[in-house]
């Protein structure tokens, strides 16, 4: 996930970025390039700020203090110090270092807003941010410090501090170094901030927005993986695919539900194990269970609801990516106006919505896994899928691991955005907590990845116990392909082995999309 030169730079102009572009820059190191229209717009808005420098009328961020200190007039000879002091004092994060991709997303979001020409910063400020991104200079940011209102203040301040040549950064090789040293090595000159520029660099929802965009990409893959896991469990538990029929889901035509059902239906098509349960050698119907359990039968409804939530979250993210978020802001007719567009509520809400969906998808996955391990519900499989039950424990504790993760995911589903702690002497008396919502969603997505990996690992073991392994597989073609990829890194059933490495190997295959890719290749078409 380091610096990528495979693709041309992403142009940053006055128009919006797209979600896929953000992921390519933040996660994969794609370069950026400011367009002529962005430079022209920034030059024009800077003229507005320069015209106010000598104005006797106070202008927030230009000739006043900040937050609750906005009533204090700052004389001309102290305004450079004003901007420098703002950044130094606000670079107050603490705690564990946040991931590189989060910081790059944060930087990109702020640069994108600068490129709209609504912030009043000079072109050199934006050009230096772009140079830092392209040189893979990533400021060190702690996880605590943002309340998600008045911007992601502390995280953004650490980036602005690096722009000034202060603080610490990580370079392309991952080593933490003083910002001044990294900038000099990359041939980038630090910037001395002028009127309003310090404020413009920290007044945005960029951190939480970056986390939302990255989470959207991750969850899109995980929901396809959840459909794959559900299909493997239906097959491994000798369930029926009749409930995934298109005509049944047309009766309740939620798009996400329809897409999930179509995925599962395609993954199970022509499965010999399913067909075996439906008909005898004479062709007579012999499926003895009237209905499968909810965790099998209702997978499209739950996965579909998560898809709908994701679609809403992506629409919010796209609107934010096309927004100019700053306070005060330069209007098209040259006014400088205070506003509340920095409030993180729109982003914070959907980050919390996604955490709820993630918890529910994981909860259903754990329930499917548990069915494989119980002889009363597994339809002929060994207890806990053990080679020699009693001597061996099989996947007993793998389900414990799932249960522990799901329990935590339920805690993480409690919304951060319903909380608010007033700050800045009650000037900022209602905040969004969107940054916290983003951090907990990232942890939740990691948990869902692990839960789905354990379900797939368990389902594959059950299928091997049913049909003897890949050589005699009676799975559908796409599920057989997935089993083959998994068996490339994890052995089939046998006496108990050290299980943690096998869970981790499966997690990697879920995380990097290898299992979904194998299924899609066998299907001959992408899953919805």
Q: Which two tokens stand for residue 205?
A: 């929802």
Q: Would you say 220 and 358 are in contact if contact means Cβ atoms under 8 Å apart?
A: no
Q: Which residues contact 289 (CB under 8 A, 6 or more apart)?
A: 239, 240
Instruction: Phi first, then psi: give them for residue 351, nearest 5 degrees.
Output: -60, -40
Question: HEC profile for 9-29?
Answer: CEEECCCCCCHHHHHHHHCCC
Report d(CA 463, CA 312) in Å as an integer.
37
Report d(CA 528, CA 526) in Å as an integer.
6
Report d(CA 233, CA 10) in Å as an integer.
42
Q: Would you say 226 and 452 are in contact if contact means Cβ atoms under 8 Å apart?
A: yes
Query: What length is written for the chain?
Result: 528
Q: Would you say 258 and 239 are in contact if contact means Cβ atoms under 8 Å apart?
A: no
> Catalytic one among 60, 129, 294, 498?
60
Q: Which two tokens stand for residue 95?
A: 């705690």
Q: Would you say 325 and 342 are in contact if contact means Cβ atoms under 8 Å apart?
A: yes
Q: Among 204, 209, 86, 94, which Cα is nearest to 145's?
A: 94
Q: Would you say 515 and 482 are in contact if contact means Cβ atoms under 8 Å apart?
A: yes
Q: Among 260, 364, 248, which Cα is nearest to 308's?
A: 260
* Catalytic residue list contains 60: yes
Q: Which two tokens stand for residue 385?
A: 């899928």
Instruction: Phi first, then psi: give them for residue 205, nearest 5 degrees.
Output: -95, 25
List, by residue number, the catalytic residues.
60
């Amino acid at each position: 996930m380091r610096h990528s030169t495979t693709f041309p730079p992403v142009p940053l102009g006055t128009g919006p970025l797209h979600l896929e572009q953000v992921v390519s820059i933040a996660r994969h190191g794609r370069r950026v390039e400011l367009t002529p229209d962005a430079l022209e717009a920034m030059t024009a808005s800077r003229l507005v700020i320069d015209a106010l420098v000598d104005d006797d009328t106070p202008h927030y961020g230009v000739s006043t203090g900040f937050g609750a200190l906005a009533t204090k007039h700052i004389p001309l000879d102290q305004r450079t110090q004003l901007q420098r002091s703002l950044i130094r004092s606000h670079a107050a994060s603490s705690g564990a270092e946040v991931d590189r991709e989060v910081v790059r997303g944060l930087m990109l979001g702020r640069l994108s807003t600068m490129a709209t020409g609504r912030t009043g910063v000079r072109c050199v400020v934006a050009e230096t941010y772009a140079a830092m991104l392209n040189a893979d200079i990533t400021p060190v940011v702690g996880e605590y410090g943002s309340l998600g209102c008045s911007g992601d203040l502390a995280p953004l301040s650490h980036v602005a501090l690096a722009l000034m040549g202060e603080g610490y950064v990580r370079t392309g090789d991952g080593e933490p170094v003083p910002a001044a040293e990294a900038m000099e090595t990359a041939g980038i000159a630090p910037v001395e901030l002028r009127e309003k520029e310090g404020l413009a660099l920290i007044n945005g929802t960029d951190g939480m927005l970056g986390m939302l965009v990255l989470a959207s990409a991750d969850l899109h893959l995980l929901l396809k993986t959840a459909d794959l896991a559900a299909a493997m469990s239906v097959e491994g538990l000798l369930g029926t695919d009749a409930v995934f029929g298109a005509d049944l889901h047309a009766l309740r035509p939620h798009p996400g539900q329809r897409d999930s059902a179509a995925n599962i239906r395609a993954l199970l098509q022509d499965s010999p194990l399913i067909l075996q349960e439906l008909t005898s050698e004479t062709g007579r119907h012999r499926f003895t269970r009237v209905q499968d359990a909810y965790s099998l039968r209702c997978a499209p409804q739950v996965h579909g609801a998560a898809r709908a939530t994701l679609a809403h979250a992506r629409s919010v993210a796209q609107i934010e990516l096309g927004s100019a978020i700053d306070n005060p802001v330069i209007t098209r007719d040259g006014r400088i106006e205070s506003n509340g567009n920095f409030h993180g509520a729109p982003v914070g809400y959907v980050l919390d919505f996604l955490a709820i969906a993630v918890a529910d998808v994981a909860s259903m996955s754990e329930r499917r896994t548990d069915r494989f391990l119980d002889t009363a519900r597994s339809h002929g499989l060994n207890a806990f899928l053990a080679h020699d039950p009693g001597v061996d424990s099989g996947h007993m504790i793998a389900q414990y691991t799932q249960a522990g993760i799901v329990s935590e995911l339920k805690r993480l589903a409690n919304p951060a955005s319903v909380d608010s702690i007033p700050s800045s002497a009650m000037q900022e008396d209602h905040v969004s907590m969107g940054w916290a919502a983003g951090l907990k969603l990232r942890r939740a997505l990691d948990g869902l990845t692990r839960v789905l990996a354990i379900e797939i690992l368990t389902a594959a073991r059950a299928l091997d116990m049913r049909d003897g392994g890949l050589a005699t597989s009676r799975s559908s073609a796409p599920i057989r392909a997935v089993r083959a990829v998994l068996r490339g890194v994890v052995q089939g059933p046998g006496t108990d082995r050290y299980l943690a490495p096998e869970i981790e190997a499966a997690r990697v295959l879920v995380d990097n999309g290898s299992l979904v890719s194998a299924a899609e290749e066998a299907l001959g078409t992408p899953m919805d």
